[in-house]
Structure 1
Amino acid sequence: MALQLVPHFDLQVDVLRWLRAGTEGRGEGAGRLCVLEPNYESLHVLNVERNGNIIYTYKDDKGNVIFGLHDCRTRQNEHLYTFEKDLQAVSCSVNSERTLLAASLVQYTKEGVRNELQPGSKCLTLLVEIYPVNNVKVLKAVDSCIWVQFLYPYAESQPLPQNHLLLISEEKYIERYHIQITQEDGNRVVIKNSGHLPRDRIAEDFVWAQWDMSEQRLYYIDIKKSTSILKCIQFCADESFNLMVSQLSAQLVNFGCDTCQGQEKFGNHQPSLCVFTNHTGSLCVCYSPKSDSWEQITYSVFYLHKGYSKTFTAALRSADSCVTKGITFLNIGYYVAVYLPGHFLHLLNIQHPDLICHSLFLTGNNKMINILPHHPLQSLTGSLILDRCSGKLYKAFLNQSDLMWFLWNSSLDCEKMAALHCVLSCGRDPGFLEGQIIQWISEHVSTCHSFDLIQEFLIASSYWSIYPESSNIDTLLPYSSVLTWNTEIPGITLVTDEISLPLMKVHSLKGYWAKLNSNLEYVKYTKPHLYYHNSMVRREWHNLISEEKTGRRSTVYVRNILDNAIKVISYMETRNLEPRLIPLFQEEDNHQRLLMGLMMSELRDHLLRHLQGIEKKKIEKMVLDYISKLLDLICCLLETSWRKHSVHPWVLHLDRRGSAADFEVFHLMTRILEATDSLCLPLPPGFHSLHTILGVHCLPLHNLLHYIDNGVLRLTETTVVRLMKDLDNTEKNEKLKFGIIMRLPPLIGKKICRLWDHPVSSNIISRKHVTRLLQNYKKEPRNSMIDKSSFPIEFLPLNYFIEILTDLESSNQALYDFEGHDSVDAEFVEEAALKHTAMLLGL
């Protein structure tokens, strides 16, 4: 299944066995066990505290209510307290020192429904000194249910002189009690001034409340003038609180108890509302209204950190499908899981919710969701999931193996896109994951029509490689290569609405609040987005290449850019110590090194401008990680294809024909070139040389030259030198060499021509020499007669032309001594002209 629930606590295993073992240890026989056995059916979880300890309750054979605690660290159980009355516990909490116990108990009829008519049916909220006095103080005695919760200012258990207790009532008010404690006679802990406990009113007339035990946040909703206002109070160590206000246009749910009995009572008629946050500063409100439809179901997600909401309507499998359970919202890090048992599982990307294709929608026909429990589930902080009915606590995470299976077997582009991002966000074993994804890409590279699969993989994987280092990266680096998505997703309709951004009134912007504020500032003031793109790099790169052709480049500037490229390549080689099969990083591809160095410079400057408070060295390392990761992914794509098709090392020999394996690697390299070229991403040095050599093997001459003319194959000096030296002068090879030489830039062409000892090459050299000599030549009348004895062959036009060149060379020695002439003179021109003429005439 895509969403895997790993058992963290099991009431039957971790508690029930201990209870039975304790009964046997007290010497009670089998008959006694039989008496106790039915009462253990009342065993259920009541609360999970911030430190992970789990409070549970059950009844003994006399109906007494017993409270116990399971320590999540030691995996040990501890008896807390016993109430010798036949009551039903609806809420319970213990302070971090385990010296005070707060509990709410209600009298129920045999049918499990609260008795509103009989006298004495009030809800008792009690505060108990656990050790050693056992004094009991009644905090409330009312007709409505009350939920209790001790505040834990610190995650670790530390002795505190004062405890704070929240009381949340069905009568729509929230109070906080301040409990002073003191020690007497050694270890005895008692409540100071228990006759009068100070308290303050936190909220009144709310309609819904939710407690975040890990972050010690209380969310509640007020209705003011037909507008729903969400408020949040975070109880900090200094007893101050943070306040955030936001307006929601939705009819919300009244607060009620969420015990098993309450859930069974309300069933699917109760609407569902959850608030989820994570460490990146996201804030989501998930809401599912009451629905009796058997054809479709609707829910909304308010992305408060983005400024908009999305309302999803999902078609159910068939018109006669009965919805017996309500929607469950689960927080699993970068995703919110929306689960309707037997019908669908939706994984909503809350970090990047802009495009629907980044969320995964699984239907009830998919085997990946049928293993999930059909019981109502409650999402706790830190990806913890509580199944109150079975008494099990799970840790939820995305299952990489199942997502990879889905990736291999999905047919829709939207499913491939979403599954790819889900897999990459897991991040537990990135090397293994990327190897599997690359294997999948090598077999499905041409199956996606809505997006470029290679582009998406390169951008998304490089993004995730540095994302954990800075949560603000999601606003600075592209997460996806796709900018818009208009393709419909089967069974899902979506409506997007703008909402007002939260109004924050925070005493100090730290931690989560600072990141949320950063997200809100980004939405308010940043237009257009701050995503890095290579447009500046592309322009500067083309300028440098143009200057290279004309010889006008700034030497110092280019040297700095190439130094950046050396850093990237060295960093990449140190991270990958294993030798590569493919012959890359073995040549000086100056154009790619320029692009690599420019990208490092631009990306570093971009992050320095917008990542305030982060050291320059750390940002430079992030840039090196990002670019080297990008290059490494390209190498891995080639390595995988190389191994898959068993390409032999002699592929680099130019005197052989290409095989089917060579063509497959050539095709993949062409797709990689297309993907990186449109984004102006650098390629590993040696890529173009290998690509061209494979092209020489696999393509007919006219196709090869056509690929070169259209930029699909890009000639490097290393490749052309090998072609000139390794290929013999057969008719076919002569045409190839001549076609390539004619397409070289002037500076490289002049150098390459001298490597090919052939009339065509000599003719090209001669033409360039003559052009240089005659560019400022002015024709003057000549009276001298040609001395035929000085020429070996009587060919008057050529003899006359050579005499002019000889005079120019002798009269202007400085012009003649230009750099790299390599003994090119009038005599060389004459010899080259004669050889080329003889070759053309077939003599």
Structure 2
Amino acid sequence: MIENLAAKLCSLLSENTNAAEQWKLLGQEKDGSILIGWVEESERNDICTLCTVVGRYDQIDNKLQILHRFSEILNIVQATVNQNHTLMGYVTKQKNCLKISDPLEDRSGHEFYGEFYRVFIVELTTDDTKVHDLEIKRSEQVRIQFLYREKEQLDVDKFLVLIHHECILTYTAQFDTSISHLRPIKELKSEILVKTFIWAQWDMINQVLYHIHHRRIPASVVTENEDENNSRSSKPTLSGLQFHDNLPHETVLNIPLNLPLLSPSSSCGTYEDDVIPLRVHDCSLDLIVVSDTKGMVCVCHYYLYRPVQPPQHVLNSLNESNTVHFAYSVTLLHHSCVIHCVIPGISWSRAKLMRPTFAIYENHHMIVFVPGLFAHLLEIGVNHEPCCHILCSPPPSIPSRVSYLVPLLDLDNPSKGTRRNSHNPDGKNSDGNSLLANNTNILTIDLPTLDLVQLTIPSDFLIEVFRKETSVEVRLGILHYFLCHKNDIEIIAELMSIIAEKPRSLDIPRFMQEILIGNSYALVQKNLLADTIPLLSLLPVTTIGDYMTFNIKMNDLEITLSHEKLWNTSVMLLSPQQRLVPYRSDLWTRLWDQLSKNGSDKLRFKPSHIAEKLLVSLACYQPEALSRCSTPMSPSGGFVAMPLGDFMGNRNIKLDSGLPFNETESCTASKQEHIVSVNLRELSMYLLKNGTHTSTIHTRGSCTPLHVHAMATRYVAAQLEASRILCQILCRTAGVDPRIEQERGFSLIDQLDEARRWLLFMLLQRYRYSIESIAFPAPQGFASFFTYLGYRTLKFSMFLQYIERSVFELQVDVTKIILADISDTKENVVQKLKLLSLLPRSRAKRLLNQWLHPISLMLRAREHAANILCGEISQSRTSSRTLQHRNHHNSLAAFPSADRLSPLDTFLDLLTAKASLTELDFGLLIEATVTSTEDFL
């Protein structure tokens, strides 16, 4: 249900008020209070009178305080109140009662036509509510704003007056403190703060004045022509003035801009008198600065353009068939980059009314909301580079009738001016209802209607977007959001089930890689030491590359999103040592820290580099050559993989019941340990090279090798944990839940129906490719489980192809059960021989000795004879089984002939000439010869 601010405030008015209408938003102050104006009807001596009233609404206390009741109706467009609520400034907008051709003229000699602005100050504590006319009458937009201080001052107040294209004035009001309860204004003086400016905005939270002005480019030292110097064009510059309690203001920011239509002559002259945020601008430049006290500063600019200028007669007949490009850019100063977004094909009649909302969401994203068109979640957080953005249609909770939403001050965020006290610790209204539910919601107000709208992106809505979305980038952004910002594995499991609905999709491995890398990063962040936090900037966080350009299709729109790098952003900012109070922490020192941290342009570690090295090392992999004590997964290696609960903290995780196979392997050292050891070595070297020589002013110092080793060990453990979690998710997605199934391992696969077995194989096949591509370790036992699953799922010819391509690994345990499962028919014997031929020699020989079949005797006899003929030393063959064969076949009598000579005799004579009798296994050779006469193939 949408709540209306005017209706809410009507219920707070006194009962003797007859009627209140024409509610208008006039401003918001640093303490979160909202200034509101309305027209009130009252009866005096049976005469109905109408007057304008200005009030102050306290959101936390849910109280409406009437600041001043005028004796007539005034068109007040903006108001402000000082910190002590003793002075109120307001701006009126009046129409010229003369003809347009006859201009009015104020005392300064300015002429203006049509509508004009005037500025007044009202003393709220004096008995006669004295009004001071600042004698400012301008056709250009005018604004007034009181300065707020950390410590209140009773004898003086300051406020700003902004006159578009003319100047910014600072006024000082001295009070007469001899009359303590009234404190009237004793003196009011002004001085020019800024001369001609194009655009300005007041940041009430940080007490910063942003303004754009033309700054002359310095003349070249080689130029001698003075006229040429004077004619040099000036550069539009965005500057920031930081105000302090008892110190003069200082210029903390100077950024050169490249914006169109910035000259005063090109101004359209049409003003929107919206007061949140407090800006002075016209329709030629719509720009908003959004900042956060933690060091985020975003310059947001939106505009309309045509890539090709049409003929004039087309411009003169703009209608529905004419389309323009709607575009916006968000300059992230803390990341030294610009995000550009272009949406072509917007009809002119619709585009000219579009006014996007820019608001910081959950401290790490920015919502760009265009009513009726789309919502864009831009990742702008300070933890890592902006890369995972989400584009979606407007959430269903936002009504379609809204036209322009502006965010109100977030009172539930302590960094944004929250007022907490012992009487009201929860920040709720007196009736128990809070306008702001939590920090995941942004309270906005629709300026034309004063409807209060919660601008939020629910998790259920994002899940539905993921289900319907075809763009890989948007889906990756949603996965990243729930992995690194929400830390919600249950939702990731739900999203994985959506992906599994199309198991043949070629994009599935990329989603799995995003889950593996993103979850590893999220696990590492748990309970980190403060000294190792700088190393997080070197760990991989997503599969999406930096500064990529990609197109996203949504409904009938094709949106282009691109990144652009800024250079030397730090030179545009005042350094901490240059401040009036050096190194005092505020928005600008935190921004400087962010620029210092991100300015080194160090790349994050890429797991693909390890994957390339493993292509070589695994080809000559010798498990027996790997020392178990050198890997962090070993019980004796000094580090054991941390349990899932230690990584997750207090998070409620249900994925803790294990895998559908036993995590054991019978190798001397498993392939998992080999991959883990390579990851540990490569990551340690990378962190040691890039993370131990950097330190900023506010960090405790550079990281030591001990910190590097701790971080690298923690990360490789997180890799294995993330790999295990994803494997669990995939098995449950395929309907194989170890909590329900009675069996595990090979027996479980035998009990699965064909549909579940096929889906499980398809998912694990892509899982195996994903971990191989980014060099992540698989859980122990996975290789044999996956191989047997493939044996049960695929045709045998296809199964052999998978082995030849090294997709399946024939460990001893799985090979034994496959060979035992294949019967010894003539056709199956050929299959067994093909399977054995694909094994390593030592493993094949060991399994061949255990196969009680005639072909096994023949192969072993051939190998034995080949070793003798090649001169290799053979062990003595005196087993009981071979002696039994000798007695059964009566030695050489098995092949009688006229001269007692046979081909076997001749062959044995040849062997005895090469080796001693003790080295020959006569029983094996004779039995193999006899067996060869049988029909077993």
Name the count of aligned residue pairs.
Answer: 780
Residue 818 of structure 1 corresponds to which residue in structure 2? Answer: none
Q: Indicate which of 288, 296, 313 corresponds to 2:303.
A: 288
Residue 433 of structure 1 corresponds to which residue in structure 2? Answer: 491
One-letter amino acid of the counterpart of residue 10, structure 2: L
Check the 8 A contact 2:165/2:198 in 1, yes or no: no
Superposed counterparts of 1:705-724, under 5 Å = 705-723=800-818
Superposed counterparts of 1:688-699, under 5 Å = 688-699=783-794
Check the 8 A contact 2:356/2:370 in 1, yes or no: yes
State the shift of 1:719 in Å. Answer: 2.6
Q: Does 1:400 align with 2:449?
A: no
**What do residues 105-132 of structure 1 show as CA deviations (whole Å, max 9, x unaligned)?**
3263599x999849898723316355x8
User: 2:636 & 2:616 partners in 1: Cα distance?
Assistant: 18
Check the 8 A contact 1:438/1:640 in 2, yes or no: yes
User: 1:309 & 1:478 partners in 2: Cα distance?
Assistant: 20
State the shift of 1:533 in Å. Answer: 1.0
One-letter amino acid of the counterpart of residue 344, structure 2: A
Residues 1:572 and 1:544: Cα distance change in structure 2 (over 3 Å): farther
Q: Hey, which of these two has a bigger chunk of helix by percent?
A: 1
Q: Does 1:148 align with 2:144?
A: yes
Check the 8 A contact 2:25/2:275 in 1, yes or no: no
Q: Does 1:652 align with 2:746?
A: yes
Q: Indicate which of 25, 34, 54 corresponds to 2:34.
A: 54
Query: 2:756 aligns to what SS in structure 1?
Result: helix
Q: Indicate which of 878, 885, 891 corresponds to 1:793.
A: 891
State the shift of 1:210 in Å. Answer: 1.6
One-letter amino acid of the counterpart of residue 533, structure 1: K
Superposed counterparts of 1:414-433, under 5 Å = 416-417=475-476, 427-428=485-486, 430-433=488-491
User: 1:771 & 1:161 partners in 2: Cα distance?
Assistant: 109
Residues 1:839 and 1:233: Cα distance change in structure 2 (over 3 Å): farther
Residue 505 of structure 1 corresponds to which residue in structure 2? Answer: 574
Residues 1:189 and 1:717: Cα distance change in structure 2 (over 3 Å): farther
One-letter amino acid of the counterpart of residue 530, structure 1: L
User: 2:242 & 2:917 partners in 1: Cα distance?
Assistant: 90
User: 2:671 & 2:21 partners in 1: Cα distance?
Assistant: 74
Q: Indicate which of 15, 25, 29 corresponds to 1:45.
A: 25
Q: Indicate which of 568, 574, 590 corresponds to 2:641.
A: 568
Residue 254 of structure 2 corresponds to which residue in structure 1? Answer: 245
Query: 1:43 aligns to what SS in structure 2?
Result: strand
State the shift of 1:445 in Å. Answer: 3.9
Query: 1:568 aligns to what SS in structure 2?
Result: coil
Residue 842 of structure 1 corresponds to which residue in structure 2? Answer: 934
Q: Does 1:328 align with 2:356?
A: yes
Residue 230 of structure 1 corresponds to which residue in structure 2? Answer: 238
Check the 8 A contact 1:463/1:478 in 2, yes or no: yes
Q: Does 1:91 align with 2:104?
A: no
Residues 1:557 and 1:513: Cα distance change in structure 2 (over 3 Å): farther
Superposed counterparts of 1:432-581, under 5 Å = 432-447=490-505, 452-460=510-518, 462-463=520-521, 476-481=539-544, 489=553, 491-492=558-559, 501-502=568-569, 503-507=572-576, 513=588, 516-517=591-592, 520=595, 525-526=600-601, 530-538=603-611, 541=614, 545=618, 548-549=621-622, 551-553=624-626, 556-558=629-631, 567-568=640-641, 570-571=643-644, 578-580=656-658
Query: 2:214 aligns to what SS in structure 1?
Result: strand
Residue 704 of structure 1 corresponds to which residue in structure 2? Answer: 799
**What do residues 432-466 of structure 1 show as CA deviations (whole Å, max 9, x unaligned)?**
42132111111134345698343344445555666
User: 1:521 & 1:593 partners in 2: Cα distance?
Assistant: 38
Residue 417 of structure 2 corresponds to which residue in structure 1? Answer: none
Residue 676 of structure 2 corresponds to which residue in structure 1? Answer: 596
Residue 92 of structure 2 corresponds to which residue in structure 1? Answer: 106
User: 2:491 & 2:448 partners in 1: Cα distance?
Assistant: 36
Residue 898 of structure 2 corresponds to which residue in structure 1? Answer: none
State the shift of 1:673 in Å. Answer: 1.5
**What do residues 175-231 of structure 1 show as CA deviations (whole Å, max 9, x unaligned)?**
44566789879x84847xx43467664422111012233333322111233422111
Residue 660 of structure 2 corresponds to which residue in structure 1? Answer: 582
State the shift of 1:138 in Å. Answer: 3.4
Q: Does 1:217 align with 2:208?
A: yes
Check the 8 A contact 1:356/1:485 in 2, yes or no: no
Check the 8 A contact 1:325/1:341 in 2, yes or no: no
One-letter amino acid of the counterpart of residue 325, structure 1: L
Q: Indicate which of 741, 747, 767 corresponds to 1:672.
A: 767
Shifted more, 555-564 versus 498-507: the winner is 555-564
Check the 8 A contact 1:315/1:491 in 2, yes or no: yes
Query: 2:198 aligns to what SS in structure 1?
Result: strand
**What do residues 531-578 of structure 1 show as CA deviations (whole Å, max 9, x unaligned)?**
221245335645664665285445653578787796336447986664
Residues 1:126 and 1:73: Cα distance change in structure 2 (over 3 Å): same
Return the TM-score normalized by structure 1: 0.76
**What do residues 355-392 of structure 1 show as CA deviations (whole Å, max 9, x unaligned)?**
999555567xx896983444223345665533222224
One-letter amino acid of the counterpart of residue 804, structure 2: D
Query: 1:444 aligns to what SS in structure 2?
Result: coil
Query: 1:103 aligns to what SS in structure 2?
Result: strand
Superposed counterparts of 1:804-819, under 5 Å = 807=916
Query: 1:398 aligns to what SS in structure 2?
Result: coil
Residues 1:90 and 1:411: Cα distance change in structure 2 (over 3 Å): same
Residue 427 of structure 2 corresponds to which residue in structure 1? Answer: none
Residue 378 of structure 1 corresponds to which residue in structure 2? Answer: 406
Residues 1:229 and 1:119: Cα distance change in structure 2 (over 3 Å): closer
One-letter amino acid of the counterpart of residue 12, structure 2: W
Structure 2 segments unaligned to the other structure (5+ residues): 42-48, 108-115, 216-232, 307-314, 411-441, 578-582, 875-885, 893-903
Residue 681 of structure 1 corresponds to which residue in structure 2? Answer: 776
Q: Indicate which of 191, 195, 198 corresponds to 2:186.
A: 195
One-letter amino acid of the counterpart of residue 782, structure 2: F
User: 1:585 & 1:310 partners in 2: Cα distance?
Assistant: 46
Q: Indicate which of 121, 124, 127 corresponds to 2:119.
A: 124
User: 1:356 & 1:534 partners in 2: Cα distance?
Assistant: 20
**What do residues 485-511 of structure 1 show as CA deviations (whole Å, max 9, x unaligned)?**
666755346787776553222335756
Check the 8 A contact 1:148/1:165 in 2, yes or no: yes
User: 2:857 & 2:924 partners in 1: Cα distance?
Assistant: 6
Residues 1:731 and 1:389: Cα distance change in structure 2 (over 3 Å): same
User: 2:810 & 2:660 partners in 1: Cα distance?
Assistant: 19
User: 1:346 & 1:676 partners in 2: Cα distance?
Assistant: 31
Check the 8 A contact 1:582/1:638 in 2, yes or no: yes
State the shift of 1:57 in Å. Answer: 2.3
User: 1:495 & 1:534 partners in 2: Cα distance?
Assistant: 25
**What do residues 395-447 of structure 1 show as CA deviations (whole Å, max 9, x unaligned)?**
4232332232232223455654555556667x457234213211111113434
State the shift of 1:295 in Å. Answer: 1.0
Residues 1:401 and 1:520: Cα distance change in structure 2 (over 3 Å): same
User: 2:344 & 2:538 partners in 1: Cα distance?
Assistant: 34
Q: Does 1:409 align with 2:463?
A: no
Residue 634 of structure 1 corresponds to which residue in structure 2? Answer: 727
CA RMSD of aligned residues (A): 5.1
State the shift of 1:519 in Å. Answer: 6.0
Shifted more, 141-150 versus 306-315: the winner is 306-315
User: 2:302 & 2:536 partners in 1: Cα distance?
Assistant: 29
Check the 8 A contact 1:375/1:387 in 2, yes or no: yes
State the shift of 1:692 in Å. Answer: 0.7
Residues 1:231 and 1:440: Cα distance change in structure 2 (over 3 Å): same
**What do residues 135-184 of structure 1 show as CA deviations (whole Å, max 9, x unaligned)?**
75738331135423334455xx8788875533323353234456678987
One-letter amino acid of the counterpart of residue 700, structure 1: K
**What do residues 577-600 of structure 1 show as CA deviations (whole Å, max 9, x unaligned)?**
642462253446711233235435
